[in-house]
Amino acid sequence: MAGPHESKAELEDAKVYVHRKDDESGSQVVHIDVEHPELNKVIEPGENSFVGGKKGGVFIGLKDEMISRAKKLVEEKE
């Protein structure tokens, strides 16, 4: 489902960029950056997950330990 829903906790001011390959910035491949400090509470730097396309955007799947951290983040926001 795209858009707000009572089961979703919004991360306000999240930034999304399509990053092109650029020697000056050090980007070696074209990729998408989703940036918000609270995301590191769910997916820690260096961890990997998986992404799938969905109508209206993308879905980021979480591993078990990430799911536990995501639940804590949602509880903090309630």
> 14-71 pLDDT, tens per residue?
999 998 887 777 777 888 999 999 999 999 999 999 999 999 999 999 999 999 999 9
Q: Are 60 and 70 in contact (CB under 8 A)?
A: no
Look at residue 8 in the predicted model and tell me its pLDDT.
Answer: 86
Q: Which domain holds residue 59?
A: 37-78
Residue 4 falls inside a structural domain: no
Q: Is residue 69 part of a domain?
A: yes
The pLDDT assigned to 78 comes to: 78
- Residue 45 within a domain: yes
The pLDDT value recorded for residue 51 is 96
Which pLDDT band holds residue 76 (cuts at 50, 70, 90)?
Answer: confident
70, with CB counted inside 10 A (0-12, 13-18, 19+), is middle
Domain count, the chain: 1
Q: Give 40's Cβ-side CA count (13 Å radius).
A: 5
